Structure 1
Amino acid sequence: MMRAGTTPIDVLVVDDNPIMRSVLRGILAADQRLRVVAEAANGREALDLAQRLRPAVTLLDHRMPIADGLSVVATLGRHSAVLVLTSSDEPQIIAEMLRLGARGYLVHGEFEPGDLVRAVHEVVGGRGWLSPIAASVAASMARGESVAGPVRHPEAGRTERLTERLTEREREVVELLCQGLSNASIAQQLWLTEKTVKNHLNHIFAKLGVRSRTEAIVRWTSSG
């Protein structure tokens, strides 16, 4: 619980996927010290909101319409600490984001909800937080090495194989889950019993390595 008189940390969430924005808002809501003050679906909206609201932290996606994250990160950094939160694990993108002022870089599939909350606090405190592949790129940059070639974490790319882990029925269930449907609604859509849907979800959670509906949505959505 937030102590009386404590000022919450304002956060701006920038992602073109409305489901992902909703999930991120839910994760941050678990920490009463954090407050999502606005959401943006592209870089242009993000710049307008950041300039007006001056959030402490901006969670910034890279691949977005109108203006992507790379094109706005430097300007956003004048109004807010930027924590990049994206599926882009290309070394060149990571390096350029860090050069332009991003204080942290998280790759979907390489962090848990608790990591995101901790990363926000670290960034507010003037420190950084990097996913393993981003840390590898940062280390290469510090050594003056080129990052033009492939610099990958040994497990990078594992999210690309998520579809292979699930059966066809499980994929149908998780897709409906990502649309925000309840167990009862999923059962109705797929002509199943609620107990069968619950069993499918338990199998899905195990295969994706998650423990909740929110974590499953994050993992599945970030896999593309």
Structure 2
Amino acid sequence: MTWPGAPHLGVLIVDDNPIVRGALRGILEGDGGIRVLAEAANGREAIAAARRLRPTVTLLDHRMPIADGLSVLATIAQYTRVLVLTSDDDAELIAGMLHQGARGYLVHGEFDPAELLRAVREVAGGRGWLSPVAASVAASMVRDQQARERSRHQQTERRARARAHFGLTEREEDVMQLLCEGLSNAAIAHRLRLTEKTVKNHLNHVFAKLHVRSRTEAVVLWTSS
């Protein structure tokens, strides 16, 4: 849907409350560079409108009938940049929205019309805009990701040191790692596409190289190395 001479920045408003939709429309259309392309009252309508209109930005509420914001965000984000606009400030929800592709997150009651307009323009430009509580959650997500990466790096280094120290082959190391995860011989065989006899032979070689006699001893020594 286009209009002669219409500005490029088109917005889709998604909220089940018609009063909220009307207020948002008034704020957005009071700005000469923004046009509201359509409104939707639930997630299903939102997907259809986003697919049809390809708005620059979609303002997306979370609590809606039929399909809520979180459940449809990833689909909508294929067609438009999403700015979540909701009353929910739950950290788990914010994290979920950001993981699903939200470019911005504003909480009702924590922004004024000027900030809303700026947020829409920032998101339209490919940047992000987060309310303070959402920014805190985003920062926590970054820290958690960095911690996971450090943990994976440390685990990789530890396995390399242990492999070099004990002289395990790559396959023996794979078997040992699954043993540490508590898998039985049958489960290890299934995971590695081996026979149980082959797994047993690998474990016998591992025990000999680690100088242990039991699975428990092997796990303790391997994980403490």
Name the TM tier (shorter chain).
0.5 to 0.7
Secondary structure of the corresponding residue to residue 144 of structure 1: helix
Matched, 1:100 2:100: yes
Q: Distance in 1 between the 2:5 and 2:63 partners? A: 38
Matched, 1:81 2:81: yes
Q: What's the CA shift for 1:34?
A: 0.3
Identity of paired residues, percent? 68
Q: Distance in 2 between the 1:6 and 1:76 partners? A: 23
Given residue 114 of structure 2, which amino acid in structure 1 is its aligned partner?
G
Name the residue aligned to 2:30: 30
Q: Distance in 2 between the 1:108 and 1:38 partners? A: 21
Name the residue aligned to 1:7: 7
Name the residue aligned to 1:139: 139
Q: Distance in 2 between the 1:7 and 1:17 partners? A: 27
Secondary structure of the corresponding residue to residue 78 of structure 2: coil
Contact 2:7 2:34 in 1 (8 A): no
Given residue 51 of structure 1, which amino acid in structure 2 is its aligned partner?
R
Q: What's the CA shift for 1:131?
A: 0.5
Q: What's the CA shift for 1:5?
A: 5.7
1:1-224 superposed matches below 5 A: 7-144=7-144
Q: Distance in 2 between the 1:87 and 1:22 partners? A: 17
Q: TM-score, normalised by structure 1?
A: 0.62
**In the TM superposition, what whole-angstrom CA distance separates every residue of 1:4-28 from its partner, at most 9, and x where no partner exists?**
9673311000000000000000000
**In the TM superposition, what whole-angstrom CA distance separates every residue of 1:179-222 from its partner, at most 9, and x where no partner exists?**
xxxxxxxxxxxxxxxxxxxxxxxxxxxxxxxxxxxxxxxxxxxx
Secondary structure of the corresponding residue to residue 144 of structure 2: coil
Structure 2: tracts of 5 or more residues without a match: 146-225
Structure 1: tracts of 5 or more residues without a match: 146-224
Name the residue aligned to 1:148: none
Contact 1:8 1:32 in 2 (8 A): no
Q: What's the CA shift for 1:32?
A: 1.0
Q: Distance in 2 between the 1:102 and 1:60 partners? A: 9
Of structures 1 and 2, the larger Rg is shown by 2
Task: Considering fraction of residues, name the structure with more helix.
Answer: 2
**In the TM superposition, what whole-angstrom CA distance separates every residue of 1:85-126 from its partner, at most 9, and x where no partner exists?**
000100000000001100000001111111000000000111
Q: Distance in 2 between the 1:46 and 1:129 partners? A: 21
Q: Distance in 2 between the 1:52 and 1:5 partners? A: 20
CA RMSD between the two structures: 1.6
Contact 2:7 2:35 in 1 (8 A): no
Q: Distance in 2 between the 1:13 and 1:108 partners? A: 14
Contact 1:42 1:65 in 2 (8 A): yes
Name the residue aligned to 1:217: none
